Amino acid sequence: MQRFPSRLPAFFRSCLMHRELIARLVGREVSQRFRGSMLGLSWALLLPLLTAVVYTFVFSAIFQSRWGNSQSHADFALMLLIGMAVHSLFAEAVGRAPGLVVGNPSYVTKVIFPLEILPVVAVLAAVLNAAIMLAIVIGGQLVLKGVAHWTVVFLPVILLPYLVFVAAGVMLCAAIGVFMRDLSQVIGLMVTMTFFLTPIFYPLEAVPERFRIVMRLNPLTSIIEQSRTVIIHGGLPDFASLAIYSLCALLSLAIGFWAFQRLRPGFADVL
């Protein structure tokens, strides 16, 4: 049975070696998403806007939810969009993960293909929607508040370890999904649960103190809170927390890549 390199440096070398292939596959993913639709890429802008409008109306107008001491619906919408942007990246990439290998059997059985780049393609394709939503927030902050904080330049620093963490989850789920076809149902439930157990449409301070530590263990919470800090409040990110997060993300990626490569020889037998 063929064995594949399973250490993290081998993954980074593969991504660097196949960077042009990754770029082409990401471009194909994005173009296929909107191919044949009348509005095309405009949907990438309209969908998050319409979703934010609906959620803002339901939670701030009907349920009378407020963000801290603010009474502004605009503040609520901007905070909501940041949370939705971070969660949508996770939901889209991880939601596709169980079918990444299963949905491309020819890559496994007929051609020599670097399967380890498929999770990277899934994550980068999911970045589009998140980037558009964050751009809407920055533009909305400028239009509604008349200010765009310079600290927004730290946003890539915050999101990079998050992308690594998501890629680790996608890689692990993609490998397990080959052998457990009902994993997609489990992932769907998990995505729904994380939407409500992450401070997306409510501030972390609204969570009772005894549950707050559990919320902070959610890997999405820190990224959402720090993104709000640099975009909305104009504060600096917590670099110590980001360093710890980055180490944990790299460890997760190392585990995910190791599991993917160890299970990889059995893909062809199942497919």
**Integer Cα distance of 268 and 271 in angstroms:** 5
CB burial of residue 239 (10 Å; 0-12, 13-18, 19+): exposed
Cα–Cα distance, 264 to 218 (Å, whole number): 29
pLDDT at 264: 92
The closest alpha carbon to 78, from 167, 145, 11, belongs to 145
pLDDT at 155: 95
Three-class SS of residue 201? coil
* CA 269 – CA 271 distance, rounded (Å): 6
Tell me how long the chain is.
271
For 130-141, the pLDDT digits (tens) are 898 898 889 888
Residues of the chain with pLDDT > 70, as a percent, come to: 90
Residue 17 pLDDT > 90, yes or no? yes
Query: Among candidates 50, 53, 32, 54, which has minimal Cα distance to 41?
Result: 32
